[in-house]
A and B are shown apart, each in its own frame.
Chain A
């Protein structure tokens, strides 16, 4: 059975994030634990008491809800929502995290994830493109509670995509 289109969309999103990150001035460092993965329910722990404690910068890509609406008499417009969570714990043995460290993560989310995914000219895969009417959103830019309690950066984003399918959901490429 082929992978569901929403999962194919998420996998394409993972690939795009990895590519953008590796092209940046501070590429993904897998030895430090950095990663980009498609997940359903990632075990996120910030303490050694409940392993695995998160390591490096983790970008999680979640499949969200999707729906279909008639577009013409023969095709549909299918809407897929992709959700992205960026999590990283500040591990330096000092007070913190400092503002500059948070600034870097906020900039990472904007420049390497939000901007490319909000670009209406993006073709994520096949003919899947950013939704015409729904907008990409940063739902949580940072979570103050996570910063204060766990020294953790936590950013949530949502990206609606659409593709034109036949009535049975198949794609005419």
Chain B
């Protein structure tokens, strides 16, 4: 659809290589997903203006979404990371990493939550939340695809 970026065409990647030399593996078994983005603010209002003013301090960039449970290695890695508290490296973009202009986030993270509805009449999906975590391998980044390749910018 011309002029409209469909959420369905967003892409969630799991890095199966290293932070410095990533191998981005597409996880296609994603349905709904949200990349959070909201800064906390320090009040900076003064008598100079009636407008409430803030200075951004910390930002929430958690990624949360629904992942259809299948027994492939990527899904297994994510689910195991929840239990083992292992750090995994993810990238969530609003389109393919090869399409110039697409934007998203990339960071080492933990799987903060994993809720699995096992109701009688449902397909099993994992409600997962990826939370950035400190890692020696690299910092959280925002990402923009430039000239057909993702470029990582510190935040």
A74 within 8 A of B: yes
Interface string of B113-132 (1 = CB under 8 A from A): 00000000111000000000
A92 within 8 A of B: no
Interface residues of B in 75-127 (CB under 8 A from A): 121-123
B29 within 8 A of A: yes
Chain B residues bordering chain A, tally (CB within 8 A): 12
Q: How far is the CA of A133 from the CA of B68 in the complex (A)?
A: 17
Binds B, one of A22-30, A50-58, A65-73, A141-149: A65-73
Q: Are B121 and A72 in contact (CB under 8 A)?
A: no
Q: Are B122 and A74 in contact (CB under 8 A)?
A: no
B30 within 8 A of A: yes
Main secondary structure of the interface of A (DSSP, over half): loop
Contacts of B30 in A (CB 8 A): 72-73
Q: Are B8 and A71 in contact (CB under 8 A)?
A: no
Contacts of B8 in A (CB 8 A): 70, 73, 167
* The one of A71, A132, A133, A167 that contacts B31, using a Cβ cutoff of 8 Å: A71
Q: How far is the CA of A73 from the CA of B9 in the complex (A)?
A: 7
Contacts of A77 in B (CB 8 A): 123
* The one of A70, A72, A133 that contacts B28, using a Cβ cutoff of 8 Å: A72
Chain B residues packing against A (C-beta within 8 Å): 8-11, 28-31, 68, 121-123
Chain A residues packing against B (C-beta within 8 Å): 70-75, 77, 132-133, 167
